[in-house]
Structure 1
Amino acid sequence: MEGIVDTVVLIAIAVIGAALARRLGFIAPLVLLVAGLGLSFVPGVPVVHVEPELVLVGILPPLLYVAALQTSVPAFRRALRPIMLLAVGLVVFTALLTGFLLHLLLPEVPLAACVALGAVVAPPDAVSAIAIARRIGLPRRIITLLEGESLLNDATALVLVRIAGGALTGAAIGFWEISRDVVVIAGGGLALGFVAAILAAWLHRRIEDPLLDDALSLLTPFVVVVVAETLHTSSVVAVVVAGLYLGHRIPDLLSPTSRLQMDAVWRLIVFLLEGVVFLLVGLQLRDLVGDLETGLATTVSVTALVFGAIVVLRFVWMYPATYLARLIPRVRSREERPPVGEPTVVAWAGMRGVVTLAAVLTLPASDDVPGGYPRDLFVFTAFAIIVLTLLIQGTTLPVLAHRLGVREDTGTADALAEAAVQTRATRAALEALDRHAGDAPASVVERLRAMAEHRDHGAWERLGRQDRETPSAAYRRLRHEMILAEREVFRTARNDGRIPEEVLSRAQRDLDLEESQLNRGDD
């Protein structure tokens, strides 16, 4: 019972913190992190111990799966080169150099342990970065780059942590052993992800009940992770591959009702998980400080070195990766040269989060390492890096983007493209109407024709900047008022006993669906 109460309290605090953040215009992860830091020192607040399995199996898979579902595969494919440079090249570069620098500061600590910590802090977390990027309006190509990096860098970091941890505990390690591990872990995860996605797609095609569709979607990332861990392959790669494949094919696999319900369910789950995980990071502080046996000077030196290394190395990597690659004729002809502000913003958007939290907890115990190593110091440093990057980089990223003039892509191009495609879609819809009208009543045909033409006109009206109210805007405003009136009549009839609750529910659902379409037009 106590565990249930603690879970409910954590979720309640996460919801209240997120609501407060939206009210004040702050980023929710930052508010919840600060709330957790403050609560960790409040007397009576229970000490929180986060198990690595909770993060690796319970929190990380659904977050990665949803991010992959929502990622545009064509955009991901176009940005694959810079994404791989960040997700693989930068993670390896950061892990190795940070490890070597830390070994110079602490020569008594095994190099493998230092590299393991470097791998722990190497991958940025996209939860806070994407939240800030969308809120301040960064260009879509930057958001795609950050999303793609976060989907793949977790696997690179966890593989490095596993290899370094094996070397630390005395396992034989060499070029062939590392190559074999990479092929088995990453390649196995890739194959498993494709197999799981094909199987899930086959099931989705045969399921007609939206509730079963949603249940299958919820189970998919967890089943993939359990199978991947059993086969000792990369669960992160498997989940991401499955999410990318299914997300690209969702329009063909799910019914409209299933898609609407699934979107709502996943948004709620991600909202709660993101809130709880940043709250947990903050709540760890008191326990970590109490367990720390290393002296203050060494702790501060190690934390400052690691923080400075991951920030500087990301800048050192970012500019050559952005501009030197464009010296290749093939790349130069395919990709335009971005202004210097864009790689600067991407370099500064290196906040750490849930992957660093999970990875550091998987480090072997000091007693399992010949000669030992300061695991308590490494765990504290990893948590300190999460806090510092979120508070320093997370709060200053909007200011930096504004100063450098890195702003959201203009909506005109999107609206123009949407209007052009909508015109073709309307033409196809009217042709289908003419083919299948048959003996349908003329009033029904004309009504459907008017609805199609209204959608076409509305798409073109969104391009305008008129001072007066457009016909589509007037339609939405008036229809809103009509729906409110209809809803009130049904509610009153239910209260008076003239209709049962089931009738109200059916009418309410129809009105809600129509109003959600109207709200889309307002957005």
Structure 2
Amino acid sequence: MHPVETLETVLLLLAAAVALHLLAAKMRLPPSAALLLGGGALAFVPGLPAISLDPELILVLFLPPLLFDGAYYTAFGRFRRHLPGILSLAVGTVLFTAVVVAAVAHWLVPTLPLAACLALGAIVSPPDAVAARAVLNRVTLPRRLQALLEGESLLNDATGLVLFRFAVAATLVGSFDTGEAVGNFFILALGGVAVGGAVAAGWMLVLRRLTDDTLVVATSTLLCWAAYLIGETLHVSGVIATVTAGIIFGWFQHSLLPARVRLQGSAFWRTLVFTLEALIFILMGFSLRGVVERIGGFGEVLGTLALPALVITVTVILTRFLWIAGSEALLSGLRASGLRSARPLGWRQAGVLSWAGMRGVVTLAVALSLPASFPERDLMLVTAFAVILVTVVLQGSTLGGVIRLLRPADVDPPAPVALPSAEAAVAQAKFQAAERVAYDGEGQLLHPQLLETYRSRAVGTQRYAADADNFMERIRPHFDLMLGVIASGRAELLRLHRRGEIEDEVLHDLERDLDLEEVGILYQRGDDA
């Protein structure tokens, strides 16, 4: 494909991503489902060039930033509290699913070696961070359940990738050493943690010496790829290295980055993540074309591979239910025996957790990386795509309905200080600081306006904390008036600029001030600015 054609195709895909997002919003579907189906449909449009996906490029290009974004915004306190449950899902469920799928695949295709069956199990076993985030962003879950799903999606790829590599090697050489595989898994995981921590620490030292905001945002963006590539180069888990670096950087960014850099970086990062997520789901749909053409058409796919793919897809979904049900039974038994730290989720939360097992980019990329001579490679590719399609479209589009039906309750105790009280504490601290500097050494008031500004804010937030709901209803019209005033100022600024009475630099400077003022009001009003 000519470079210009490549650029045209990428631009077409981005335009399609925007259109499919709008369509998903109108139809109340998860964007991932619309993008996947839309990509599959676009792949067979006459005249569109075939798109060849390099699996290694997919993993390196898409996986690090999407994993890093999830890790950066991880609620680390809940992640640490629920780490045993997260590991049960990220390691236990993946291994259990892989083994059960391997047994079912061997039953369906007895000529397929067990090691190759295990490779198929490793391909389809880990739920995907990208698919999970695309759905979780649209639903409201109890905090423990949210922590379990987010943590699982960050860590389970490492389990699946390590198992896959050992299974492929065992298939090609004809032997598999379980002890060696387990030992190497822990080495890869611990090595990934060490590499991610070291890369994040070095990166933060570099950022402290940068004074240009654009360079800070650019170098921070490179951190995810640096952690992943260094981890893979040192033969440890690049996935774990990326997640570790993201969690550490997310923890320290509050004191490390200036506010203006956070605003710029957040806007840039949201755009980058949207673009990557949209492209990867469309490209997954496009990959179906190559698989169908290689196998010999839809008729051949349906006639020879559809039944095994469907059986394995159902197996993937059921094994998650079985593992979570078994874990619930174990926790309930331990709780009944007197172990107070054992806390079952309850059938409502367990049901939602069982249904939230969407697969995505890792499953596809790993399947495409199978050697050309691998036994039953086409079956594995079709099965991988079937698992992605069914879980993203069926589970992703119905997860919201399942949550509404089961109504899982948030039984975790809330943090001792709620949002209104925290705002009041911050406002009080600011007022006390203003009070200290408002008077000179002889007690003479030097800055009355400063003192009055922060006093009124402190009093207002205390009233808000005392009765948040009623206070917001009363003050909302005040915020609306403030937004109207800002709009008038913006209109006057544009009038001056359009008449040629101010320079462009003046327009941009004052417009930035108005934008920051408007965003602050929107956040205070409770809107998603």
Number of positions where the alignment pairs a residue of Structure 1 with one of Structure 2: 514
Partner of 1:8: 11
Equivalent-residue separation in structure 2 for 1:23 and 1:205 (angstroms): 45
Cα distance, 1:118 vs structure 2 = 0.5
Assess if the C-alpha contact under 8 Å between 1:68 and 1:244 holds in 2: yes
Partner of 2:90: 87
TM-score (norm 2): 0.91
Cα distance, 1:250 vs structure 2 = 1.3
Cα distance, 1:73 vs structure 2 = 0.6
Equivalent-residue separation in structure 1 for 2:355 and 2:109 (angstroms): 27
- What is the letter of the counterpart of residue 444 of structure 1? L
Cα distance, 1:352 vs structure 2 = 0.6
Partner of 1:225: 228
Within 5 Å, which residues of 2 pair with 1:51-450? 51-170=54-173, 173-292=176-295, 296-328=302-334, 332-334=339-341, 336-366=343-373, 373-406=375-408, 417-439=418-440, 440-450=446-456
Deviations 1:415-463 (A, max 9, x none): 9711222222222222222222244421232123223433444455533
Assess if the C-alpha contact under 8 Å between 2:438 and 2:450 holds in 1: no
Assess if the C-alpha contact under 8 Å between 1:189 and 1:238 holds in 2: yes
Deviations 1:184-242 (A, max 9, x none): 32222111011011112222233332212211111101112221222221110100010
Cα distance, 1:126 vs structure 2 = 3.5
Cα distance, 1:384 vs structure 2 = 1.4
Cα distance, 1:173 vs structure 2 = 3.8
Equivalent-residue separation in structure 1 for 2:322 and 2:77 (angstroms): 29
Equivalent-residue separation in structure 2 for 1:191 and 1:27 (angstroms): 36
Assess if the C-alpha contact under 8 Å between 2:309 and 2:383 holds in 1: yes
CA RMSD of superposed structures (Å): 2.4
Equivalent-residue separation in structure 2 for 1:231 and 1:40 (angstroms): 38
Partner of 1:369: none
Assess if the C-alpha contact under 8 Å between 1:189 and 1:235 holds in 2: yes
Which has the higher mean CA deviation after the structures are superposed, 33-42 or 326-335? 326-335
Cα distance, 1:326 vs structure 2 = 4.4
Assess if the C-alpha contact under 8 Å between 1:325 and 1:331 holds in 2: no
Assess if the C-alpha contact under 8 Å between 1:90 and 1:317 holds in 2: yes
Assess if the C-alpha contact under 8 Å between 1:214 and 1:261 holds in 2: yes
Cα distance, 1:320 vs structure 2 = 2.0
Which has the higher mean CA deviation after the structures are superposed, 136-145 or 152-161? 136-145
User: Would the alpha carbon gap of residues 365 and 245 (structure 1) be closer, same or farther in structure 2, given more than 3 Å must change?
Assistant: same
Cα distance, 1:296 vs structure 2 = 4.2
Assess if the C-alpha contact under 8 Å between 2:29 and 2:397 holds in 1: no
Partner of 1:38: 41
- What is the letter of the counterpart of residue 318 of structure 1? I
Partner of 2:443: none
**Unpaired runs of 5+ in structure 1?**
367-371
- What is the letter of the counterpart of residue 197 of structure 1? A
Equivalent-residue separation in structure 2 for 1:92 and 1:168 (angstroms): 18
Equivalent-residue separation in structure 1 for 2:333 and 2:196 (angstroms): 35
Residue 48 (structure 2) pairs with residue 48 (structure 1)? no
Equivalent-residue separation in structure 2 for 1:269 and 1:352 (angstroms): 21
Cα distance, 1:482 vs structure 2 = 0.3
Deviations 1:365-422 (A, max 9, x none): 21xxxxx511122112101110111122122222222222236899x97897112222
Assess if the C-alpha contact under 8 Å between 2:420 and 2:465 holds in 1: yes
Cα distance, 1:84 vs structure 2 = 0.5
Equivalent-residue separation in structure 1 for 2:26 and 2:410 (angstroms): 23
Assess if the C-alpha contact under 8 Å between 1:130 and 1:143 holds in 2: no
Assess if the C-alpha contact under 8 Å between 1:82 and 1:322 holds in 2: no
Equivalent-residue separation in structure 2 for 1:203 and 1:285 (angstroms): 43
Equivalent-residue separation in structure 2 for 1:125 and 1:239 (angstroms): 15
TM-score (norm 1): 0.92
- What is the letter of the counterpart of residue 508 of structure 1? E
Cα distance, 1:332 vs structure 2 = 4.8
Equivalent-residue separation in structure 2 for 1:401 and 1:339 (angstroms): 14
Assess if the C-alpha contact under 8 Å between 2:93 and 2:323 holds in 1: yes
- SS at 1:112 equivalent: helix
- SS at 2:217 equivalent: helix
Cα distance, 1:465 vs structure 2 = 8.1
Assess if the C-alpha contact under 8 Å between 2:71 and 2:246 holds in 1: yes
Partner of 1:494: 497
- What is the letter of the counterpart of residue 338 of structure 1? L
Equivalent-residue separation in structure 2 for 1:82 and 1:183 (angstroms): 18
Equivalent-residue separation in structure 2 for 1:308 and 1:59 (angstroms): 28
Equivalent-residue separation in structure 1 for 2:157 and 2:186 (angstroms): 16
User: Would the alpha carbon gap of residues 386 and 244 (structure 1) be closer, same or farther in structure 2, given more than 3 Å must change?
Assistant: same
